[in-house]
Structure 1
Amino acid sequence: MEVTLKFGDKVTVADVRKLHDMEDVVFDREWFEETAERNRDVYYMFRDLAKSDSDLDAIKAHHLRYDITVIPPRMLGSEYIKTVGHYHPHVPGTDISYPEIYQVLEGSATYLLQKVKNGEEDLVLDVVVITAEKGDLVLVPPGYGHVTINASENTLEMANWVCREFSSVYEPIKRLSGASYFLLKDGFVKNPLYRNIPPIRHLKPLAYNELGLDPGESMYELINKVEKLRFLTAPQDFTGFLTGVL
């Protein structure tokens, strides 16, 4: 059965992440091997949203995309439910990868961000965890891969703005069976397939004034001051801002 979301005057059908899509990154292998319902839904992605045709035209003209992801509360065996996780490619002609910005719309999110050595994806340079509640903003800067975890008892709904000109890179995280840490009920545990994993740095969400938003304001409203989002499409022009985020 299709899962849909009404956003503005449009209804969008979800891209569904199934349990079998998570096979490479699940911590609890014994649980996964014993699970018969591999085709059950895990979370839902609603891509390229806009409240009107004119908004969508403006979003596309600025090479952006606005998405919403919905992650129901559940466990993947002994591990809290999460996204598969991914990196972003470099902006053509630069050595800077594209950033992404998230906002929690409902529920609570745990964002795990990791930076690895170029050409050695198993060598971890930095790990950051940001716990975000409704309304909070989290910016994933260039150079970081990321996973979103729902460690709460409520459905997590989050939005993101991102440059529409690239595809996310999933292979390195899948090849290493997940991110550098897994979040279990007893806390974070290290992924033994990575080398030299540093301790987690726990940081706070991004301040609203960094984007020119009022506290609690939906970041979708940046459609009305879209120049504030140019750091997503041309991060090479905002290195000072982006390197100071973490």
Structure 2
Amino acid sequence: MGNELDFYGYIRTPDIRMLYDMKEVLYDKEWLSQAGNMELYYMYRDLYRNKSDLEKIKEHNLRYDITIIPPKMLGREYVKTAGHYHPFVPGTTLSYAEVYQVLEGTATYLLQKQEGDMITDVMVYVAEKGDCVVIPPDYGHITINATGETLKMANWVARDFSSVYEPIKELSGAAYYLLVDGFITNPDYAEVPPIRTRETTDYPELGLSAGKDMYDLVDDIGKLEFLTRPGEYMPVFEKVTA
């Protein structure tokens, strides 16, 4: 108890990611061998303001979530999410997209594109309160809290798929780890490209602007179609990855 979230009067309890859930993807295995299991972060899924919003969100095959990541060091590594890819949209060769917004704190988002057995692109965004970050099709991603403050972030995503954790788990994490001294490459990857540091930006064509609460897109929900029909929004994703 004590981790409930009040979202427009609805009291929600989280799914909790524990340290031992993450054992395959952590850098500091020596520290892990001595560490007791502990709570790392909290996921509040399928949130809505009222029943009318919920019906609209379901009708458009979407889900709105909030994740809270308190500050913590995992040995030499900053606390992070487990990391995952998205499955393909049925009948296409593109995976689903996703979008995040920082509500409190600062997030470091690491995005990596896998083509065959190779990682062909790695992008890193440092996002502040109000910033939005779009995860384009075919990119895996992790979120890192590299600060001494709690990170609270929201995401919109298609509701009818399960995240794909295995490719990142099998390679002991993402292509890079973020330690106190900075990013280092993950030696389990045969080869990784250098990190491209990206600046957050607005996507007015998607209704996404820094400081504008993206939950409010529930009232203009057609703007979120890029999450479920990414093939129709490739010019936007090319802007993300350019």
Normalized against structure 1, the TM-score is what? 0.95
Aligned counterparts of 1:19 and 1:191: Cα–Cα separation in 2: 19
Aligned counterparts of 2:89 and 2:156: Cα–Cα separation in 1: 16
Which letter maps to 2:166?
A: E
Secondary structure at the aligned position of 1:244 is classed as: helix
For 1:175, which of 170, 177, 190 is the aligned residue?
Answer: 170
- 1:99 maps to 2:94: no
Q: Which residue in 1 is equivalent to 2:20? A: 20
For 2:68, which of 70, 94, 98 is the aligned residue?
Answer: 70
Secondary structure at the aligned position of 1:115 is classed as: strand
- Superposition deviation, residue 9 in structure 1: 2.3
- Superposition deviation, residue 213 in structure 1: 4.4
Which letter maps to 1:195?
A: A
- Superposition deviation, residue 220 in structure 1: 0.3
Which letter maps to 2:218?
A: I
Aligned counterparts of 1:205 and 1:214: Cα–Cα separation in 2: 10
Which letter maps to 2:8?
A: G
Unaligned 5+ segments in structure 2 are none
- 1:192 maps to 2:187: yes
- Superposition deviation, residue 215 in structure 1: 4.2
For 1:156, which of 147, 151, 155 is the aligned residue?
Answer: 151
Secondary structure at the aligned position of 2:111 is classed as: strand
Name the Cα RMSD after superposition. Answer: 1.1
Q: Which residue in 2 is equivalent to 1:11? A: 11
Aligned counterparts of 1:83 and 1:68: Cα–Cα separation in 2: 13
Q: Which residue in 2 is equivalent to 1:115? A: 113
Aligned counterparts of 2:138 and 2:40: Cα–Cα separation in 1: 27
Which letter maps to 2:126?
A: T
- Superposition deviation, residue 240 in structure 1: 1.6
Percent of residue pairs identical: 55
Q: Is the 8 A contact 2:45 2:64 kept in 1?
A: yes
Q: Is the 8 A contact 2:174 2:186 kept in 1?
A: yes
Unaligned 5+ segments in structure 1 are none
Aligned counterparts of 1:199 and 1:235: Cα–Cα separation in 2: 26
Structure 1 stretch 67-76 or stretch 200-209: which is displaced more? 200-209
Normalized against structure 2, the TM-score is what? 0.97
Q: Is the 8 A contact 2:202 2:209 kept in 1?
A: no
